[in-house]
Amino acid sequence: MAQPIPIHKHSPLKASCHQCSLSNLCLPLAIEENELDRLEDIVQQGRIFNRGEHIFDQSTPFRSCFAVKSGSVKTSIITESGEEQVTGFFMPGELVGLDSMSSSTYACTAKALERTSVCEFPVEKLEDLTGKLPELQHHMYHLMSQEIQNGHQLAMLLSKNTAEERIAALLLSLSSRFQRRRLSPTNFSLPMARNDIANFLGLAVETVSRVFTRFQNQGLIRARGREVELLDVEALQLVTRDSARQGC
Amino acid sequence: MAQPIPIHKHSPLKASCHQCSLSNLCLPLAIEENELDRLEDIVQQGRIFNRGEHIFDQSTPFRSCFAVKSGSVKTSIITESGEEQVTGFFMPGELVGLDSMSSSTYACTAKALERTSVCEFPVEKLEDLTGKLPELQHHMYHLMSQEIQNGHQLAMLLSKNTAEERIAALLLSLSSRFQRRRLSPTNFSLPMARNDIANFLGLAVETVSRVFTRFQNQGLIRARGREVELLDVEALQLVTRDSARQGC
DNA sequence: CGTCCGGATTGATCCATATCAAAGTTGTAC
DNA sequence: GTACAACTTTGATATGGATCAATCCGGACG
């Protein structure tokens, strides 16, 4: 019997960091061209997940970090009682799993929000490599530190800002992340449901919905379902700084 | 003219990680006895700050991480508008500044909550050293990852939990951190003001105060000013899991 | 082409916590 | 010991967003 060609699992198209369009965002960013092979030696490319599939969950033994190659990923913590707290959204070029480097199983659950492909970096090998490439080590510290800062930023949003401010901030964050990938910063499609936005921002779905329509009525955005157009970026930025204006 | 003896700055009592009582909590934790010298070579010990003094702020160029040796430290972000968001409290054995490793100036402001001494680890040297000691590198990843998780935990608390749950969680967190240092887990003195607690937990001071008295009336704690005694730890744990119970 | 179903929107009501206001308390400097 | 300043507590009121309850929409599928 002829084996069907195993598209994803066993054709690990080695050596494509070199030609990956995300090499200026992802880990290769920190590596000299001539050292890139060493990263390619440890990466497992091309794993694909359909919308809704888990890349890992809190019971999976922690082995690897994952770089999003295409699609998008939602991470969340599920409490004993089944409650979910969305902790982040990850877009192409971003690294998922850094929060788990202190645990034996993953610290969160990662789910593909759409058809998503990821590159897998086994941490043991990654740590070996960062021990040899100071630039890469530095970059890892950089990424982790940024993730800590993101957390603080989120905490700030949650504890001090109104629903409108939180949503404006999220839209602008997404916008700038699309822009980094040279996609339109004003015209994009949200990878996540209203529910996920609500959960992430500590709001009720209904509130998210209402704020979207309010923004729409004020001419700040145009939104139909997940399609969003930012009509007035400056005004949105003003919204996020409203808490600032209180002081004046 | 005889120079006065420069107590802190130039008598860097080299080599005291060896005999430091926190060596099982702090960075030495990850290092073999015989490699400990290499850490001591880069650490600057014994800097002392009085209550209210800044160890660094957001305009200070980022150079070093600081391990708390005694006392305690509050970190917070100050926004352009002067608003403060407390991002964490650090106790002896804990490392301050990990969130800044992606920036040229510190990402937050660190202030001594009481008379506090810290050990300074210049990051440049620290990165060199972690490149050579895989165990230490691993430990750095571990610490940073934990800080990310703390952030997620806090976000969860802020977005899903009531005032009582948040405060119970903080008390229990402090309790277990005192315990790690072999101090009483039920009888301690809060290093921070009600205001800082409120800010950290996204509450108004008045609410914090009210919850403290409510807990007291319920016989969960005894509190006079900053002195706290946890009378019923199990009940407090139940409080933090109240959100869980909703689901049953 | 209708039906069904999950997600999204809209409306009405309620509540936890903020906010405002005023004492009380503690520490500390003189 | 007195007095100021900073912190804490307590009370009364207001409100942003949660919650409850329909209804609406769009896409998958028979």
Question: The CATH number of the domain where A76 resides is what?
Answer: 2.60.120.10
Q: Is A136 left (phi over 0), alpha (psi -120 to 50) or beta?
A: alpha
Condensed to tens digits (0 to 9), the pLDDT of residues B43-97 reads: 988 789 999 999 999 999 999 999 999 999 999 999 988 889 999 999 999 999 9
Question: Which member of A83, A131, A246 has the closest CB to residue B137?
Answer: A131
Total number of domains constituting chain A: 2
Residues B78 and B116 in one domain: yes
Model confidence at A7: pLDDT above 50:
no
Give the CA B161 to C1' C15 distance in Å.
15
- C-alpha dist (Å) from residue A179 to A26, A176, A186, B100: 15, 5, 9, 25
Give the Cβ contact number of residue B160 at 10 Å. 17
Residues A119 and A188 in one domain: no
- CB contact under 8 Å between A99 and B152, yes or no, is yes
- Asked if the structure places residue B177 within a domain, the reply is yes
Lowest mean pLDDT across A4-8, A45-49, B37-41, B93-97: A4-8
Residues A37 and A142 in one domain: yes
Nucleotides of D strand lying within 7 Å of any protein CB atom: 7-12, 16-21, 26-27
- Asked if the structure places residue B57 within a domain, the reply is yes
Residues B31 and B116 in one domain: yes
Residues A136 and A237 in one domain: no
- Asked if the structure places residue B95 within a domain, the reply is yes
Residue A69 — pLDDT band, cuts 50, 70, 90?
Answer: very high
Strand C closer than 7 A to residue B202 Cβ: yes
Residues B44 and B77 in one domain: yes
How far apart are alpha carbons B133 and B38 in whole angstroms? 10
- pLDDT of B7 reads 45
How far apart are alpha carbons A49 and A63 in whole angstroms? 18
How far apart are alpha carbons A150 and B154 in whole angstroms? 12
The boundaries of the domain holding residue B44 are 27-152
- Asked if the structure places residue B22 within a domain, the reply is no
Share of chain B above pLDDT 70, in %: 91
Is A73:A111 a contact under the CB 8 Å cutoff?
yes
Which chain A residue has its CA at the smallest distance from B142's CA?
A: A102
- CB contact under 8 Å between B155 and A152, yes or no, is no
Domain boundary among A157, A179, A196: A157
Amino acid at A143: L
- CB contact under 8 Å between A155 and B150, yes or no, is no
Better pLDDT: B228 or B9: B228
Collapsing DSSP to helix, strand or coil, B195 comes out as helix
Nearest nucleotide relative to A162: CA against C1' = D16
Mutate to test the interface with B, among A121, A148, A205 (most CBs of B within 10 A): A148
Burial class (CB in 10 A: 0-12, 13-18, 19+), B131: middle
- pLDDT of A14 reads 53
Residue A81 — pLDDT band, cuts 50, 70, 90?
Answer: confident
Mutate to test the interface with A, among B145, B165, B197 (most CBs of A within 10 A): B145
Residues of B in contact with A77 (CB under 8 A): 152, 156
CA-nearest of B99, B100, B114 to B150 is B99
- pLDDT of B6 reads 45
- Asked if the structure places residue B21 within a domain, the reply is no
Angle ∠(B86,A201,A83) on CA atoms, nearest 5: 100
How far apart are alpha carbons B189 and B226 in whole angstroms? 5
How far apart are alpha carbons A116 and A51 in whole angstroms? 7
Nearest nucleotide relative to A206: CA against C1' = C9
Give the CA B66 to C1' D23 distance in Å.
58
- CB contact under 8 Å between B159 and A202, yes or no, is yes
Transcribe A54-120 into DSSP letters: EEE-TTSBP-EEEEEEES-EEEEEE-TTS-EEEEEEE-TT-EE-GGGTTSSB-SSEEEESSSEEEEE
- CB contact under 8 Å between B130 and A137, yes or no, is yes
**Which helix or strand (DSSP H or E) is residue B156 part of?**
helix B134-160
Lowest mean pLDDT across A147-151, B188-192, B237-241: B237-241
- pLDDT of A56 reads 96
Mutate to test the interface with B, among A62, A65, A79, A152 (most CBs of B within 10 A): A152
Better pLDDT: B46 or B127: B127
Strand C closer than 7 A to residue B206 Cβ: yes
Give the CA B210 to C1' D1 distance in Å.
33
Domain boundary among B107, B126, B152: B152
- pLDDT of B47 reads 87
- CB contact under 8 Å between A144 and B142, yes or no, is no
Residues B134 and B183 in one domain: no
- C-alpha dist (Å) from residue A43 to A28, A50, A56, A228: 11, 21, 17, 35
Strand C closer than 7 A to residue B242 Cβ: no
Model confidence at B8: pLDDT above 80:
no
3-state percent breakdown (helix, strand, coil) of chain B, nearest 5: 45, 20, 35
- CB contact under 8 Å between A87 and B154, yes or no, is no
Residues A191 and A239 in one domain: yes
- C-alpha dist (Å) from residue A125 to A140, B92, B247: 14, 33, 41
- C-alpha dist (Å) from residue A198 to A187, B160, B231: 21, 11, 37
Residue A225 CB contacts under 8 Å (≥ 6 apart), including other chains? none
- pLDDT of B45 reads 81
- Asked if the structure places residue B42 within a domain, the reply is yes
- Asked if the structure places residue A2 within a domain, the reply is no
**Which helix or strand (DSSP H or E) is residue B116 part of?**
strand B116-122
- CA gyration radius for chain A? 19
CA-nearest of B8, B6, B12, B118 to B56 is B118
Question: Which member of A134, A145, A158 has the closest CB to residue B159?
Answer: A158
Residues A31 and A139 in one domain: yes
Give the CA A78 to C1' C14 distance in Å.
29
Q: How far is A203 from chain B (nearest CA, A)?
A: 8
> B176: domain CATH number?
1.10.10.10
Residues B61 and B131 in one domain: yes
Domain boundary among A142, A157, A172: A157
Condensed to tens digits (0 to 9), the pLDDT of residues A116-128 reads: 999 999 999 999 9
Residues B115 and B223 in one domain: no
Collapsing DSSP to helix, strand or coil, A156 comes out as helix
- CB contact under 8 Å between A247 and B82, yes or no, is yes
Sign of CA dihedral A127, A137, A39, B35: negative
Residues A36 and A147 in one domain: yes
- Asked if the structure places residue A17 within a domain, the reply is no
